């Protein structure tokens, strides 16, 4: 896994969203690195990390992240956005001894927590859509040979459109968890509120005037999560 590292201090693993890279966090990454050693991998198949044989799965990505954390000195905090949040949730569930705090940004713990337009968009992500997606921010983050792009789009579409329900996994977590969503996010507000019903040790923050497309780089995100990360 290709990994970028910034700053010094207690380790914080920063997980980007689908079709993304750590650069999508912009000033948030800079703010986090002022207080933490930020380890920012490129998830499997993304950026400079090659794809692998077999299905592209969240659990497989979570095991990749666990291997990365296992090489660090002690457990790490995880902050994941969107797909990265799903990976972070599964990492904490599958490898609880490796995670000390978890921040889930724009991350539904059930597939139906996404709004309907977003779910429809996942279904439309096929290899045949790859050409239309060139010129987008997603394509700009893709740094491997361009002939691999259609296969990657198709594999990501199958991954993101797969239904899931991780209520029980979320309820089993014993680490402190903060869920953060925007008030105009692709995560349904009614679903976001359910985090507080499910989590043993949970906090919920809703950022005003924020969408799924700008929350990862929002200074408000940094201001919200840094006190939580400091407190444990």
Helix (H/G/I), strand (E/B), else coil: 144: coil
- What pLDDT tens digit does each residue of the chain (232 aa) get? 999 999 999 999 999 999 999 999 999 999 999 999 999 999 999 989 988 888 899 999 999 999 999 998 779 999 999 999 999 999 999 999 999 999 999 999 999 999 999 999 999 999 988 888 888 888 889 888 888 999 999 999 999 999 999 999 999 999 999 999 999 999 999 999 999 999 999 999 999 999 999 999 999 999 999 999 998 7
**CA nearest to 2, candidates 118, 155, 144, 145:** 144
Burial of 110 from C-beta contacts in 10 A (0-12 / 13-18 / 19+): middle
Where are the domains positioned within the chain? 3-118+165-230
Q: Which two tokens stand for residue 208?
A: 């005003």
Helix (H), strand (E) at residue 5: strand 3-6
Q: 3-118+165-230, superfamily in CATH?
A: Alpha/Beta hydrolase fold, catalytic domain (3.40.50.1820)
CA angle, residues 226, 216, 83, in degrees to nearest 5: 110
- Helices 58-70, 83-94: axis angle to 10 degrees equals 60
**CA nearest to 152, candidates 230, 63, 50:** 50
User: 0.75 cut: is pTM over it?
Assistant: yes
């Amino acid at each position: 896994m290709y990994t970028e590292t910034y700053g010094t201090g207690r380790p914080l693993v920063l997980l980007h969203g689908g079709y993304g890279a750590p650069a999508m966090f912009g000033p948030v990454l800079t703010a986090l690195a002022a207080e933490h050693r930020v380890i920012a991998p490129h998830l499997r198949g993304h950026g400079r990390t090659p794809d692998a044989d077999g299905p592209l799965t969240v659990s497989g990505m979570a095991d990749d992240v666990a291997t990365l954390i296992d090489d660090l000195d002690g457990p790490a905090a995880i902050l994941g956005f969107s797909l990265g949040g799903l990976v972070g949730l599964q990492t904490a569930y599958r490898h609880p001894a490796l995670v000390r705090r978890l921040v889930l940004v724009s991350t539904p713990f059930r597939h139906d927590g996404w709004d309907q337009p977003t779910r429809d968009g996942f279904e439309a992500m096929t290899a045949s859509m790859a050409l239309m997606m060139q010129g987008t921010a997603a394509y700009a983050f893709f740094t491997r040979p361009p002939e691999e792009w259609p296969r990657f789009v198709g594999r990501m579409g199958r991954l993101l459109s797969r239904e899931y329900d991780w209520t029980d996994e979320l309820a089993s977590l014993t680490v402190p968890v903060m869920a953060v969503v925007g008030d105009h996010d692709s995560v349904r507000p009614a679903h976001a509120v359910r985090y507080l019903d499910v989590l043993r040790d949970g906090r919920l923050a809703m950022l005003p005037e924020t969408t799924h497309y700008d929350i990862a780089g929002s200074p408000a995100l940094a201001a919200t999560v840094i006190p939580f990360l400091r407190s444990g």
